[in-house]
Structure 1
Amino acid sequence: MRVAPKEVETFRDDFTYSNSPEAIKRFPFPFPEDEYRYSVNMEPHTPKGGEGSAYEHFLDIDEHYLSEMAERKLVLDEMPHRCLAMEHMELACWDMLERLMSSLAQDYSDYFKLTIEGDQWTWENKLLNIHDTFTFGDSSTLPQSPLEYIGCQVQGDFALLDQRDGDLFLDAGMITCPADWSLAFDAGMSFKEWHGPVPMAHNEGIFERALKYLTAMQVGSPIRRLNWTLTVNARMDTSPETYHEWGHERTSVTPENAGEKVYLRVEMQVMDRMPRSNALMFIIRTYLISLEDLATNPEWARRMHRTMKTLPAPLIEYKGLSRYHSMVVDYLAQFDPAN
C-alpha cells in the first residue's frame, strides 16, 4: 500500500473526508477527451500507471480504507437488506471470498494474510484486527455470510451476476455506496433491465455489445471501465433509500461554494469471471474528489470544463445535475484559457 490508511473520516453529517495531495495525484480521472461520449470503454484490468497508481493491483486499497469500512458498517447496521444473496448464489459468494482474500494477501501482505491447509483457511486483516479460521464452503464457520464477511473488508461495492439463458442477472451483492440506485429494487433483474434507465446508450446498441462481451469473458481475464457522475458533499451513500437525507443537498450549491461542495464521483468498475460458479463478479470502486482539489491539476480542470460544457441534456438530467450543472461549468471556466 503506497498511501497508508488515515484515521476514520466521515461521509455524512460533518463530512470530514478529505484527499491528501498523494490521493489527488492518483485519482482515476475519467475523461480521455474534451467532449464526453457515452461508450463501453472497457479495457483489460491489468496494471498501469506505475507504482502507487490506482490501477497497480486488482483491488485498490488506499488512505480512505478505514473510513469506508466504518461507513459500510453504519449503512448495514441501519439497512441490512443492502447485502443479499439468493440461495443459488452461495458458491459464487465463496468464489468472491477466495478471489478477494487471495488478491489482498498477495498485493498488501503487510496488512492481510491468508493461510490455506486443505479446506481449513485462516484469514488475518491487521487493519481491522480480524483473525479467523474457517472451513471453506461452510458458512456456519464464519461470523457472517461469506459475501458480507469479505465485503465488509474491501473498499467498493460488489454485485454477483448469475449467467443463464445468454443473459446476466443481479442475484447477489453488497451495495452500500451506490450512485442513486438500489440493490433491493434491482435484485433479480437482467443486465438490460438493470441498465434500463440509462439514456442514449440503448439507441446506439452499446448495451447489446457490452452484454455479448461480458457473457464471453473467461476466467483469469478481468476487465475494467470508468464511470462517473457528480455529487454534492463527500457523501458515499446516495441510494434511493436515503434520498430524504441527501436529495435536498443539490439545492445548496451556489456559485461561491461550487468548488468546495461539488465532487466528481468516479467508479472503477471491474468485471471478473468466477471459476467455480461461472458467475461474474462486478466490483464498483468509488472515488470522490472536490472540484477544488481537482483544479489543482490544470489539465484536469481544463478538460472537465470542456466536458461539462458540452454534456448532452439527457445525461445532465439522468445524472441529477440539472440544479447545479451551470454553476459547475462557470466554476471550471476560470481554469480554461480557451474560455
Structure 2
Amino acid sequence: MSLDSIKPIETYRDDFTYSNSAAAIARFPFPFPEDNYMYSVNIEPATVGPAGSIFEHWFDVDEHYRSEMAERALVLARDPRRCMVMPHMQEAAWDTLEMLMEHLATDYPALFSLHREGNHWHWQNRVLELDQHFTFGDASTLPCEPLEYITRQAQGDFAVLDQRDGDLYMDAGIVTCPADWSLAFDAGMSFKQWHAPVPMAHQMGVFDRALKYLMNIQVGKPVRRLNWTLTINPRMDTSPETFHEWGHERGQVTADNVGQLVHLRVELQFMPRLPRSNALLFGIRTYLISFDELATQPRWACRLHRVLRDLPPQLIEYKGLSRYHSTIVEWLSQFDPEA
C-alpha cells in the first residue's frame, strides 16, 4: 500500500461519489460460502491471509482510507457522543492506541511510523500529514483522548469490551459507521443485551456459544467473523440517530435503480485481546459494494440471488429489507441460470 494507491476523498452522503476500483472489487469480502444463509457464530482464528487480501494484516487499510477518515471527522463534529470511554477503561484506551500504532506502522511503513524511547513516542501518519510527539499514558500530550486520537486514523468502528463477572460489557468505543445500532444506547450493556434484537439466534444458543468463545480469546490469538446486511446508497452512517436522513431511502428502490442504489454491506469483525488491560477489542471494518459492481463477479450475483430469495422472513425484517426484498431478488435473478 502506497500513498498513491489511496484515493482522494469521496463522499458517503449527499452526492455519494464513493465507488470501488476493480482492485477493490476483487478483494471484497463476499460473505456467502453457500447458496443459503442462517445466522451463526461463524467465528474463526484470524490467521494471516494472502498478500493483498483483507486478511493480510490485522487492520486493513485500503483505497478508501482518506474518505473514511473524512467521514469519521464529519460524524464526530456533528455528534461527539459517537466516541465514549468510561473512566475505568482508560488503560484499555491506551492499550488500543498501542496495538493500532504498532500494527499500522509495521504493516504499512510507507504510510505510518512509530518511534519509542521509553514513554516518549513519536507517531507519523503520512496520509493525513500528522506528526505527533507524546508521552504514552499522559492524555494531556495528545490533541484528544487516546482512543479517539488513534481511531480517527483507523478504518472501521471499534468497541472496547471490559471482561468481568463472566460477561463482556461495552464500556468504550467509537462508532461512526454503524449498521443501525447506537453506541450511546448500547454503552454499558452486556454481550447478550446488545445482541437482544437479533432474531432466531437466541433460541439456537448462538450467543451462549459466542460469549464463551470470546471470553477465552488469548493475547496474540485474535479471531474474526463476517457479518452482512444491505444499505441503500453507499452510506456509512446508518445509525438510529440519523434515521431521519436515510430511512426513507428504502422506499426509493425500483427495478431500474437496484444496481446503483442497493449496496451489499459486509463487516469484518476482528477481535484481539488487549494485553495490558485484558479488555477485548471488537473491530468492525465495513466494506460497501453496489449491486452493479458486485455483478461484475457473476458467481457472486448468482449466489446472492439464491441467498436473498430463500432468506427467512424474520431475517428479512431484522435486516430492514422488507420494502424492497422482492425487487432485488427479481433483479438478481438475471444472473442465476437456474432462475
TM-score (norm 1): 0.99
* Deviation of 1:45 (Å): 1.0
The percentage of counterpart residues that share the same residue type is 66
How many Å apart are 1:4 and its aligned residue?
1.5
Counterpart for residue 297 of structure 2: 297
Q: Look up the match of 1:31.
A: 32
Q: Within 2, Cα distance between the matches of 1:272 and 1:57?
A: 13
- Report the alpha carbon displacement of residue 11 of structure 1 after superposing the two structures with TM: 0.2
Query: What does residue 175 of structure 2 align with?
Result: 175
CA distances 1:309-339 after superposition (whole Å, capped 9, x unpaired): 1100000000100001111101110000011
Are the aligned partners of 1:179 and 1:238 in contact in 2 as well (CA < 8 Å)?
yes
What is the distance in 2 between the residues matched to 1:203 and 1:88? Answer: 34
Gaps of 5+ in 1: none
Contact 1:217 1:273 in 2 (8 A): yes
1:243 aligns with 2:243: yes
Alignment of 1:4-19 (within 5 A): 4-19=5-20
Q: State the secondary structure of the residue aligned to 1:241.
A: helix
Q: Over residues 169-203 of structure 1, what are the superposed CA-to-partner deviations in whole Å (9 max), with x where a residue is unaligned?
A: 00000000000000000000000001000000000
Query: Pairwise mapping of residues 237-316 of structure 1 onto structure 2 (< 5 A)?
Result: 237-316=237-316
Residue number in structure 2 paired with 1:97: 97
Find the aligned partners of 2:214 and 2:224 in 1 and give their Cα distance: 11
Whole-angstrom distance in 2 between the partners of 1:4 and 1:92? 32
Deviations 1:44-70 (CA, angstroms, capped at 9, x unpaired): 11222x221111111110000000000
**Distance apart, 1:254 and its partner CA:** 0.3
Asked whether the 8 Å contact 1:46–1:58 carries over to 2, the reply is: no
Matches within 5 A, 1:125-144: 125-144=125-144
What are the residue-to-residue correspondences of 1:188-203 with 2, within 5 Å?
188-203=188-203
Unaligned runs of 5+ in 2: none
Tell me the amino acid that sits aligned with residue 143 of structure 2: P
Task: Please state how far the C-alpha of 1:259 moved relative to its aligned partner.
Answer: 1.1
CA distance in 2, matches of 1:331, 1:223: 35
What secondary structure does 1:66 align onto? helix
Give deviations 1:257-287, integer Å, cap 9, x for gaps: 1111000000000011011111000000000
Classify the secondary structure of the residue corresponding to 1:334. helix
CA distance in 1, matches of 2:109, 2:320: 41
Aligned length, in residue pairs: 338
- Structure 2 distance, partners of 1:143, 1:46, is 34
- Distance in 2 (alpha carbons) for counterparts of 1:102 and 1:85: 21
Deviation at 1:38, TM superposition (A): 1.2
Letter of the 1:133 counterpart: H
**Which amino acid counterpart does residue 264 of structure 1 have in structure 2?**
L
Partner of 2:337: 337
Q: How does 1:214-229 map to 2 (within 5 A)?
A: 214-229=214-229
Q: In structure 2, give the amino acid aligned to 1:282.
A: F
The amino acid across from 2:312 in the alignment is: P
Deviation at residue 219 of structure 1 after TM alignment: 0.5
TM-score by length of 2: 0.99
Alpha-carbon distance between aligned partners in 1 of 2:132 and 2:47, rounded to the nearest angstrom: 30
User: Residue in 1 aligned with 2:112?
Assistant: 112
The amino acid across from 1:37 in the alignment is M
Corresponding letter in the other structure for 2:40? S
Q: Tell me the equivalent position of 1:166.
A: 166
SS in 1 for 2:272: strand
Q: Does 1:42 align with 2:43?
A: yes
Conserved 8 A contact 1:89-1:171: yes
CA displacement, residues 92-128 of structure 1 (integer Å, 9 cap, x when unaligned): 0000000000000000000100001001000000000
Structure 1 CA distance for aligned equivalents of residues 162 and 98 of structure 2: 17
